[in-house]
């Protein structure tokens, strides 16, 4: 077995014993990426992969950390979604407008990764500025699902999920705004967790919607995610939303019993629109939890019906503000030469942004415009408060809430490109969690008759990621 096929935990053990070096792992990863690129339908998971720079990273790490074997990651290479700044590398957000932008600094999550012995290794493809659920809006082309290359990997972290599932990455750091870690993890059959808002610093994460965005891992196993999340979590004075809470040893939660755990199943998440095969696999996952000793009960989350409308109004409003900086003057590519400032803005943004990004900027600008702010944006914020309160009430009764991750398994590439509303509805089960700032994960629980993976979503109370890791390992063990 080649090193790119190992888990993070297994490679860490080999590195600690000094049986291998980081460059040996990178060599096998790079060979897999190059070999895949020769495929008739390559995964297209990476935007950039500089093998020589990664070798230098290993050398600098050895010079900086004397006892690297004692660190959490011990030299394991981790691929990075191309929306997280890594000093000296291109950070394009999969957009033409940033195709030449090179990061002058490290995101805090990358600094923490390095401090714990991790090595950033390659920048992953994604939906442009993390806007999409299919990974088809990238300026670098669509990413493909390794289980069936005619199908989407999910988005916006589709490059990460595809690379990890296809053994072109050991693990990945990504971002989740409305389901962008969990949905592709589900569709590619890997594990992905969005931590509590504030658990991981957002400093250095290019903002889509600031009150939703959160960095988290996509990995081959639950244990790998626990290790990686612990490495990148912590307080950051440069991020005003960084939570002043202790970082648990998540790794120790994996494998602990769930006997006696109270699990809620919201009726609203199993209604119309849920594919029958997905429902069957998720229900099988719930039965696994029950067999593991959990007490399962039905609950109601009635305000879920307002979640998608609220999410897309607030998220696009924040995007219209955050993306105003990308004008070809201060950041990114300048496409034309002109003395007319209005023409410069218009042409740079028209040529630099893709259709989906422009659609969301227009929607957000409209929601914030005079005469519509109270009618749309303010009402969406009120609905968000109700949704958050409803989750708080539910967690007074249960420790974990379970649901589907997406209404269906991965669909064909191109199937929803011209139907954005249908694509937005694919976030119906994940967006409410971002509205409430809760931690949630997707863990593989089965496959459809077509052989496409299905994930079950595990949702916990704020800063109770350890509860998710306990339950996720039980489901993972039954599915493996």
pLDDT tens for residues 80-99? 999 999 999 999 999 999 99
DSSP 124: E
Element (H, E) at 343: helix 341-352
Range of lowest pLDDT (243-247, 424-428, 456-460): 424-428
- Judge whether 21 counts as a catalytic residue: no
Instruction: Note the pLDDT of residue 348.
Output: 92
User: What residue spans of 353-429 are helical by DSSP H?
Assistant: 355-368, 379-394, 420-424
| List of domains in the chain | 3-253 (3.90.1300.10)
Whether the pLDDT of residue 331 is over 90: the answer is no
Instruction: Note the pLDDT of residue 391.
Output: 98
Kindly report the average pLDDT of the chain as a whole number: 96
**Which candidate in 111, 180, 242, 403 is catalytic?**
180
Mean pLDDT within 241-247: 97
Q: How many CB atoms lie within 10 A of CB 396?
A: 7
Element (H, E) at 262: strand 262-266
pLDDT tens by residue, 134-173? 999 999 999 999 999 999 999 999 999 999 999 999 999 9
Range of lowest pLDDT (127-131, 198-202, 271-275, 440-444): 271-275
Mean pLDDT within 384-413: 98
DSSP 147: T
Whether the link from the prior residue into 156 is cis, omega within 30° of 0, is: yes
- Judge whether 81 counts as a catalytic residue: yes
Q: Phi first, then psi: give them for residue 202, nearest 5 degrees.
A: -95, 0
Whether the pLDDT of residue 332 is over 80: the answer is no
**459 is written with which tokens?**
């949702």
**103 is written with which tokens?**
């990061």
User: How far is 430 from 179, CA to CA, in rounded Å?
Assistant: 5
Sheet strands side by side (includes 262-266):
46-48, 119-124, 77-81, 171-176, 214-219, 191-194, 440-447, 453-460, 400-404, 262-266, 295-299
User: How far is 240 from 22, CA to CA, in rounded Å?
Assistant: 35
Mean pLDDT within 8-14: 98
**Which candidate in 103, 111, 138, 156 is catalytic?**
156
Q: Tell me the chain's radius of gyration from C-alpha atoms.
A: 21
Buried b (16+ CB within 10 A) or exposed e, 42-79: bbbbbbbbbbeebbebbeebeeebeebeebbbbbbbbb
Contact assessment for residue 61 and residue 117, using Cβ atoms and an 8 Å cutoff: yes
User: How far is 228 from 190, CA to CA, in rounded Å?
Assistant: 15
Whether the pLDDT of residue 480 is over 90: the answer is no
Q: How many CB atoms lie within 10 A of CB 351?
A: 14
**188 is written with which tokens?**
């590619």
402: Cβ contacts below 8 Å, ≥ 6 apart: 263, 264, 265, 282, 285, 286, 289, 456, 457, 458, 459
Q: How sure is the predictor about 43, in pLDDT bands with cuts at 50, 70 and 90?
A: very high
Contact assessment for residue 445 and residue 289, using Cβ atoms and an 8 Å cutoff: no
Contact assessment for residue 412 and residue 151, using Cβ atoms and an 8 Å cutoff: yes
Q: Phi first, then psi: give them for residue 84, nearest 5 degrees.
A: -110, 125
User: How far is 349 from 312, CA to CA, in rounded Å?
Assistant: 21
User: What's the distance, Cα to Cα, between the start and end of the chain in Å?
Assistant: 18
- Judge whether 370 counts as a catalytic residue: no
User: How far is 214 from 212, CA to CA, in rounded Å?
Assistant: 6
pTM recorded for the entire structure: 0.97
User: How far is 393 from 300, CA to CA, in rounded Å?
Assistant: 10
């Amino acid at each position: 077995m080649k090193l790119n096929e190992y888990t993070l935990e297994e490679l860490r053990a080999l590195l600690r014993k000094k049986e291998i070096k980081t460059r040996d792992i990178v060599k096998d990863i790079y060979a897999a990426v190059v070999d895949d690129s020769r495929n008739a339908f390559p995964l297209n998971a990476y935007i950039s992969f500089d093998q020589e720079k990664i070798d230098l990273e290993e050398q600098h790490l050895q010079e900086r950390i004397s006892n690297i074997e004692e660190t959490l990651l011990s030299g394991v290479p981790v691929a990075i979604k191309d929306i997280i700044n890594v000093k000296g590398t291109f950070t394009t957000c999969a957009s033409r407008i940033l195709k030449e932008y090179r990061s002058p600094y490290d995101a805090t999550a990358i600094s923490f990764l390095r401090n714990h012995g991790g090595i950033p290794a390659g920048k992953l493809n994604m939906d442009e500025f993390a806007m999409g659920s299919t990974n088809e809006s990238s300026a670098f082309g669509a990413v493909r699902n390794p289980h069936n290359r005619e199908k989407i990997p999910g988005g916006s972290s589709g490059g990460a999920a595809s690379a990890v599932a296809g053994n072109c990455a050991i693990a990945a750091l990504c971002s989740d705004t409305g389901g962008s870690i969990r949905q592709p993890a589900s569709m590619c059959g890997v594990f992905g967790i969005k931590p509590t808002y504030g658990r991981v610093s957002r400093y250095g994460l290019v903002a889509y919607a600031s009150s939703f965005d959160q960095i988290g891992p996509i990995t081959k196993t639950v244990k790998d995610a626990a290790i990686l999340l612990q490495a990148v979590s912590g307080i950051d004075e440069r991020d005003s939303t960084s939570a002043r809470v202790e970082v648990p040893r998540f790794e120790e939660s994996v494998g602990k019993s769930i006997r006696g755990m109270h699990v809620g199943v919201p009726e609203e998440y199993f209604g119309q629109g849920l594919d029958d095969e997905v429902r069957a696999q998720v229900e099988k996952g719930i039965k696994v939890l029950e067999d593991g000793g959990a007490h399962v009960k039905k609950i109601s989350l009635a305000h879920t019906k307002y979640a998608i409308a609220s999410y897309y109004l607030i998220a696009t409003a924040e995007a219209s503000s955050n993306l105003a900086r990308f004008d070809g003057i201060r950041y990114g590519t300048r496409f034309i030469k002109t003395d007319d400032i209005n023409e410069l803005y218009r042409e740079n943004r028209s040529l630099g942004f893709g259709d989906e990004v422009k659609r969301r900027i227009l929607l957000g600008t409209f929601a914030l415009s005079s005469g519509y702010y109270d009618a749309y944006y303010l009402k969406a914020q009120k609905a968000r408060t109700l949704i958050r309160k409803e989750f708080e009430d539910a967690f007074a009764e249960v420790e974990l809430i379970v649901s589907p991750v997406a209404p269906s398994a991965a669909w064909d590439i191109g199937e929803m490109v011209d139907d954005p509303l249908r694509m937005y509805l694919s976030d119906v089960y994940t967006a409410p969690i971002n509205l409430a700032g809760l931690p949630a994960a997707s863990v593989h629980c089965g496959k459809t008759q077509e052989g496409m993976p299905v994930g079950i979503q595990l949702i916990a109370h704020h800063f109770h990621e350890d509860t998710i890791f306990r339950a996720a390992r039980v489901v993972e063990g039954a599915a493996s």
